[in-house]
A and B are shown apart, each in its own frame.
Chain A
Amino acid sequence: MIWNGEFETLPREALEALQLKRLKNLVERVYTAVPYFHKKMDEAGVKPADIKSLADLVKLPFTTKEDLRLNYPFGLFAVPFDTVVRIHASSGTTGKPTVVGYTKNDIESWAELMARTLSAGGAHKGDVVHNAYGYGLFTGGLGAHYGAEKLGAAVIPISGGNSKRQIMIMQDFGSTVLLCTPSYALNLADVMKEMQVDPKTLKLRVGLFGAEPWSENMRQEIEARLNIMAIDIFGLSEVMGPGVASECIEEKHGLHVFEDFFIPEIIDPETGVPVPHGERGELVFTTLTKEAFPVIRYRTKDISRLITEPCSCGRTFYRMQRITGRTDDMLIIRGVNVFPSQIEHVLMSIEGVEPHYQIIVDRQASLDVMEVQVEVSESIFSDEIKVLEKLGKKIEREIKDLLGVSCKVKLVEPKTIQRSEGKAKRVIDNRKL
């Protein structure tokens, strides 16, 4: 079902005219309200008046995670602070998170986008939406929640964790739509098996999964094991949260980017030059309507490509292929973005010196597990077992505090972590996605 027939099926020319109108307005707003963007545009030699067509978008400078970090926490907000009604945050590359804000209108747009997403996945008024995305600073939980309410569905704000209880509630409340990360969906399937609950006895019909990369194989596994239709959805907090793009249930091939709200670009990550339609590269987004935290040409570091062929569902929006990789070393563990530099930051603050460490990620019983191996240097070594054990626990706790993801710390002997060309390999990802 198409939620918003007027906008989701706009002929391309009308859509592009709308995009241009909104882009001009965005650039004008940002140039006036955000000194940092003003300066960046001046440095790039571009004025709001230079944006005469959509092709002029490339004249605008990129926004990166580094820009967000430099303006922590609210430096890039484009509205007076008393009009901000919501603040979310996601992982930053060091100790500080990336902060985003929303006005009342932004929250309304976001709900519209998630209602479209849910609708594209086959959900409708009357559904019981089991929302197992995490509620909190993470955009997943609340983002999906407002969309489901707007859709007219009954939302169960169950958040993540406690799988047995989740399954009991699915049985008792008759959940029809499941929202969570794809790996958590598989974990739920495992727990159902353990509890001897046959998915066929549940009312679940469809699941919308996102917040971490997954594959066609995983889709087939989820569909078979939970007896549902599995839909891929995409979003990131810097751009909005969930609701940036979504597959349609008709094709399940590529995610429609809601182009009346966002302009997607694919660029060559080395040169920054846009690649021809259909070619693979780094995904870049410009937010057309956001008021509190607009971004211009935000580099996601996600690798994708755009599919411009028309879709049988009737939506005129281009589709992005499911994310196939990253241009940096970011990991997604149980839906949470993790940068090795964050772990380095924790270790540095404890050890006081450059740590030697390695992150090993695995998937056990459908759940991501992260082990951090830390070489025991003289500065942290002790002749007492309890001191070393305490140290291990402390590192685990601080990583959990900073990232929101638990890990196991293993102390290892010096030089046991592989070093290639003098630089240590920081991440070993054994998950077979």
Chain B
Amino acid sequence: MKVEQISIFLENKSGRLAEVAGVLAKAEINIRALSLADTTDFGILRLIVNDTEKAKQVLKDNGFTVGKTAVIGVEVADKPGGLAEILNVMKDHNINVEYMYAFVQKSAGNAIIIFRFDELEKAIDVLRKSGIRIMRGEDICAL
């Protein structure tokens, strides 16, 4: 039910993002989805990749601080109202979205939204009961 996301601490210095991409490229790791959050001094790069463990290892070997977090991937129809529906369910159950990012699937015409909730297990339960499709981690990584 959960997807493993890796996050990387980056200082706001030119070239740091390129270095992460370079390290992953060299290890032949494919990025499935990403988001970058930034502040004045630093940023956090969040990635979903096809091989989480390997990605984490090579980044650590290259001196990056890397974290691993469980997030949820939800498939939404790529049409108006798709996101609103999910967020309303969460609101009704007092579940907070810490952050989220979305990408559109090439073939199926669906959007996939990655959510980081404050209460992960409760969120899974609520989504299920509401009939919203949660993607399997391996499916997202294998996209």
Interface of A toward B, CB cutoff 8 Å: 376-378, 381-385, 388-389, 410-416
Contact = CB atoms under 8 A, between A and B. Distances in A.
A415 B44 contact: no
B5 interface: yes
Nearest to B5: A383
A175 B101 CA distance: 62
B9 A376 contact: yes
Contact of A413 (B65, B67, B116): B65
Interface string B37-52: 1010110101000000
Contact of A383 (B41, B42, B63, B67): B67
B99 interface: yes
13 contacts: A376-B9, A376-B65, A378-B67, A381-B9, A382-B7, A383-B44, A384-B98, A385-B44, A388-B44, A412-B42, A413-B11, A413-B64, A416-B11
A389 B5 CA distance: 21
Interface of B: 5, 7, 9-11, 16, 37, 39, 41-42, 44, 46, 63-67, 69, 98-99, 116
Nearest to B37: A385
B116 A388 contact: no
A396 to B, nearest CB: 13
Contact of A384 (B42, B63, B66, B116): B116
A416 B66 CA distance: 15
Contacts of B7: 381-383
B10 A383 contact: no
A59 B98 CA distance: 67
Closest 10 CB pairs of A and B: A383-B7, A383-B69, A376-B9, A381-B65, A381-B67, A376-B65, A415-B63, A385-B37, A413-B11, A383-B67
Given A383-B7, A416-B11, A377 B65 contact: yes
A89 to B, nearest CB: 34
B98 A413 contact: no
B98 A378 contact: no
Nearest to B38: A385
A365 B2 CA distance: 52
B65 A414 contact: yes
Given A412-B11, A413-B63, A385 B39 contact: yes
A414 B10 CA distance: 10
Contacts of B98: 384
B99 A388 contact: no
In this complex, which of A378, A382, A389, A413 has the most chain B Cβ atoms within 10 angstroms of its Cβ?
A413
A414 B9 CA distance: 9
A411 B41 contact: yes
Contacts of B116: 383-384
Contacts of A388: 9, 39, 42, 44
